[in-house]
Every structure is written in structure tokens, then in C-alpha cells.
Amino acid sequence: DGGITQSPKYLFRKEGQNVTLSCEQNLNHDAMYWYRQDPGQGLRLIYYSQIVNDFQKGDIAEGYSVSREKKESFPLTVTSAQKNPTAFYLCASSTQGSGEQFFGPGTRLTVL
Amino acid sequence: AQKVTQAQTEISVVEKEDVTLDCVYETRDTTYYLFWYKQPPSGELVFLIRRNSFDEQNEISGRYSWNFQKSTSSFNFTITASQVVDSAVYFCALSESMYSGGGADGLTFGKGTHLIIQP
């Protein structure tokens, strides 16, 4: 089955630790995205990548980092510099020109 | 800068009633794309529709319909004869990207409308 997988579904982290969220897609999509969702809020764009080995900052990139070494993978690292990391993180992908973004099931990160 | 406003934070109706979710957007571009997504309790976003700024025709898909009016910068979503399974958070989103198809640079989302359909 084609789709986007995110792991883990729930993640707990101690304050001051870096943590990496996984996002994998087998849809052969060129573009991938990371969004953050807070309770009662819409999604906000963290980073996006339109092609391998290239990525761009979104609206709230501070405290986050990404890599895009493979077309199918776009991991997000939440660093200790992110002051309020507890949130629901959603990964998405799309083909160039389609406009429609397909979303993964999300990772809920809680900082203890 | 682009912005999407969904003024209705929460709507509660009884099953079989019709319900309209409002979406108002702001953009400086003449070419843009509008989207609606559904987020059920599981959390995963489900794509419902994409509309480009040059196509103002209303669209109907089963019980769902969308009304796009450039004059009022609105892209409203109506569910006819609502069902309990329609309960979810619905997001309206905008892309100003000129890249064909829109969305290549990411989407700007509204805060969402939580729709509750009571049996």
C-alpha cells in the first residue's frame, strides 16, 4: 500500500534533549513537508523540501532541523533550542504540480 | 502576507441538518489555490478539495458542496443532511505558490472548525 508513515506515534522527551521524528513515503513524491499543530490551532509549516538535498524554512523553523538525503525520507529533529516542543507533528508529501498534499498519521510529542 | 480565517471555532448540529463552514482568505496574488481538509479524531488529515483562483464554479460531491466567491474572498463548505461520521475538525487552507498546482511551498491553514454532529 502506498502512503506516508510516521514513527513513533507517541514520543516523550525530557527537557533539554534532542529528538528525531521519522517520516517516510513510498508515493514517489518529490516534495515533503513538516507541520506543527497545537490544540485549537491550525497547522503551521516548519520546513519543506521540493527535491532531494534541498530544503527551505517555513514559518516556524527556529529550534528545528531537517535533512533530505533520500527522496522517500524527511526526518525532523526537534532540538533543545525549541522552547515549546510539545505538539502534534504532521508530515506531508505531494507530487510537483498536483497541489494536493497527502498527510501521515502524525507524531504526538510530549516534553516532560 | 497570506491569511486564512475560520471564524467558527465549533459548530454543533443535529444529524440530518445542513451545515455551512465559513472560510475567508487574504492574499495579494491573483493566482492562488484553496483547499479543504478533514481531520477526524485519529489526527490524519484527509484531502477534500482543491480550487484554483480562476475557477469560480461551485462544486458538488455527494453531500458536500463548496461555494467559492472571489468578490468576498470566501470559500465556504456545506454539508447537506449531516451524519455523525462527519464529526471532525475541518481546515481551510491557501497556497499562493505560482508553482503549477499550488502548495509547493507549503499551505497556510486556518485554525479549523470543530464540527459536532449529534445523533
> In this predicted model, which residue has the larger pLDDT, A39 or A77?
A77
Q: Residue B84 phi/psi, 5° resolution?
A: -55, -35
The CA R_g of chain B, rounded to the nearest whole Å, is: 14
Contact A42 B109 (CB under 8 A): yes
CB within 8 Å: B42 and A105: yes
In chain B, residues with a C-beta closer than 8 Å to the C-beta of A48 are: 105-106
Work out the mean pLDDT of chain B and round it to a whole number: 90
pLDDT tens digits, one per residue of B41-65: 989 999 999 888 888 888 889 999 9
Q: Are B90 and B115 within 8 A, CB to CB?
A: yes
Which pLDDT value is given to residue B106?
82
Amino acid in the structure at residue B44: E
Could you give the angle at the alpha carbon of A17 between the alpha carbons of A14 and A23, nearest 5°? 100
Q: HEC states along chain B?
A: CCEEECCCCEEEEECCCCEEECCEEECCCCCCEEEEEEECCCCCCEEEEEEECCCCCCEEECCEEEEEEHHHCEEEEEECCCCHHHCEEEEEEEECCCCCCCCCCCCEECCCEEEEEEC
What is the pLDDT confidence band of residue B100, given thresholds at 50, 70 and 90?
Answer: very low
- Tell me which DSSP letter residue A96 carries: T
- Predicted confidence band of residue B95 (pLDDT cuts 50, 70, 90): confident
CB B55 within 8 A of CB B68: yes
User: Do B47 and A101 count as a contact with CB atoms less than 8 A apart?
Assistant: yes
From residue B50, give the alpha-carbon distance in Å to each of A3, A27, A100, B106. 20, 19, 7, 14
CA-CA distance, B29 to A23, in Å (whole number)? 32
> What residues of chain A lie within 8 A of the CB of B95, using their CB?
99
Residues A52-74 have a mean pLDDT of 95
Measured CA to CA, the distance from residue A102 to residue B2 in angstroms comes to: 22
**Whether A99 and B112 lie within 8 Å, measured CB to CB:** no
Residue A101: DSSP 8-state: P
B48 to chain A, any CB pair closer than 8 A? The answer is no
**Residue pLDDT, tens place only, B4-40:** 999 999 999 999 999 999 999 999 888 888 999 999 9
Q: What is the mean pLDDT of residues B73-92?
A: 97
Q: Give the model confidence (pLDDT) of A1-58 as tens digits.
A: 679 999 899 999 998 899 999 999 999 999 999 999 998 888 999 999 988 999 999 9
- Top-confidence residue, A24 or A83: A24
